[in-house]
Amino acid sequence: MSAPKKAKHVDQFTALGKLTTLVCDTGDVEAIKRLKPTDATTNPSLIFKAASLPQYLSLVNDAVAYGKALPASHSDSERLAATMDRLAVNFGAEITKIVPGYVSTEVDARLSYDKDETLKRARRIIGMYKELGISKDRILIKIASTWEGIKAAEALEQEGVKTNLTLLFSLAQAVAAAEAGATLISPFVGRILDWWKKETGKTFADAEEDPGVQSVRQIYGYYKKYGYETIVMGASFRNKGEITALAGCDRLTISPGLLDELKDCHDPLPRVLEASKAAAVYGGPKLHMNEKAFRFAMNADAMATDKLAEGIRGFAADIEKLEAMIAKRLGEH
């Protein structure tokens, strides 16, 4: 009599989806349709990549038509900025038809140190979604986790607009975001790993040693220990191991390629993070972040300071590439 076959584990995508809300990190609408995540996030780099693809030409055309139809009183720069916002909203609107949860849309990263302009652009983005019949409850306004960005998020949350504080690399940023009442934060895992690899020359082959994984675990523990409702959504993954090492985190936003890797793997996937065990994860004191404490903590954290600045520069560069493409189209008659 042959031995009974061992039961095959479900794939890790399915298993992780039972522990954590899965989010797709892409501007590729077709990939989102295929993977069926709960939420989706975009950023300028992802929108630039997607806007260059022929299947999304109609979304670009609509944004250009919107910009051209604006009153003549708009300066060229105002017209371009409004067209860029409309393009981001067009992609977001398509994504809301596919995912049941939140869609994150990012404010121009070049405004990361300007609270008032960030607020103006965020309100306009929400207004554009409203024009398309999409409730603000479906949208997370994505803002870099500078002090000014966190204060803008605080004001938006008080207006009933939900926010996603991104480019987050430190507990100081996470504490300030929670105290501001942000709906969600996006702590970056892979970019933290990148910095420490470069700084130390170590490979950090094991996810348990990965400084990015450790950072998100610390933030998750802090939030659960002190009862903050702000959602922790790990982001910026370099490999599948970083993802599985955070199983149980509130949300994880993952690129289509890594989501496919999870689908193809049938290894067991245990829960790692649990709200009820948060005190053991974070053993430090409760912190408070006013502006002086925040700036000093960031100054003391070379990694967080470097990666925040680098991230803003990178998003700004991709915005400028996309602007060049859109400005050319706006100039056509």
Active site residues: 142
Q: How many angstroms separate the Cα of 12 from the Cα of each of 137, 141, 156, 190, 273?
A: 30, 30, 36, 20, 16
- 120 Cβ neighbours under 8 A, 6+ residues apart: none
Which pair of tokens denotes residue 232? 């922790």
Which pair of tokens denotes residue 53? 């693809």
> If we measure between CA atoms, which residue out of 4, 14, 37 comes closest to residue 252?
37
Q: Is 226 left (phi over 0), alpha (psi -120 to 50) or beta?
A: alpha
Query: What's the rounded Cα separation, in Å, for the pair 19 and 250?
Result: 8
* DSSP three-state, residue 22: strand
- Where b means 16+ CB within 10 Å and e means fewer, 89-114 reads bbbbbbbbebbeebbbbbbbbbbbeb
- Helix%, strand%, coil% for the chain, nearest 5: 60, 10, 30
* DSSP three-state, residue 146: coil
